[in-house]
């Protein structure tokens, strides 16, 4: 039986290289969605927004936003296809990006 928790994850683009990154519990940005903190309550989501705004001011990231996600058996999965694709890197070539280096997370953009 799958254990599922629903919430929100903060994402942005890292200014240094443009990569999609996800805010972690420790307040750093990771390329791995499975490292992301899943905000289960509105106050937690507000805290993520505040932390991301600070990092925008510090010119670490840009384009930050929260998206719907769920934790399924300990792994984070974006609910919408757009964010699933951000976790993968180029979806037309699985030999490139996060898919190729094993940091794309446990879920494909489209489930079979």
Give pLDDT, residue 6. 96
Q: What are the residue ranges spanned by the domains of the chain? A: 4-80
Mean pLDDT by 10 residues, the chain (112 residues): 89 94 96 94 97 98 97 90 77 64 59 52
Distance, CA of 16 to chain centre: 17
Strands of 20-23's sheet in order across: 29-30, 20-23, 4-14, 61-72, 75-78
Give pLDDT, residue 92. 63
**Is 22 in contact with 30 (CB distance < 8 Å)?**
yes
Rounded to two decimals, the pTM is 0.83
Give pLDDT, residue 2. 75
- With residue 30 as reference, give the H or E element that holds it: strand 29-30
Give pLDDT, residue 93. 64
**Is 19 in contact with 13 (CB distance < 8 Å)?**
yes
């Amino acid at each position: 039986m799958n254990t599922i928790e629903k919430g929100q994850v903060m994402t942005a683009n890292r200014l240094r290289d443009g990569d999609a990154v996800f805010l972690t519990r420790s307040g750093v940005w990771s390329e791995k969605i499975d490292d992301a903190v899943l905000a289960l309550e509105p106050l937690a989501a507000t805290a993520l927004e505040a932390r991301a705004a600070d990092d925008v001011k510090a010119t670490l990231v840009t384009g930050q936003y929260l998206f719907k996600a769920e934790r399924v058996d300990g792994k984070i999965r974006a609910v919408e296809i757009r964010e699933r694709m951000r976790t993968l890197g180029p979806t037309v070539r699985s030999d490139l990006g996060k898919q190729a280096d094993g940091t794309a997370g446990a879920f494909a953009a489209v489930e079979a």
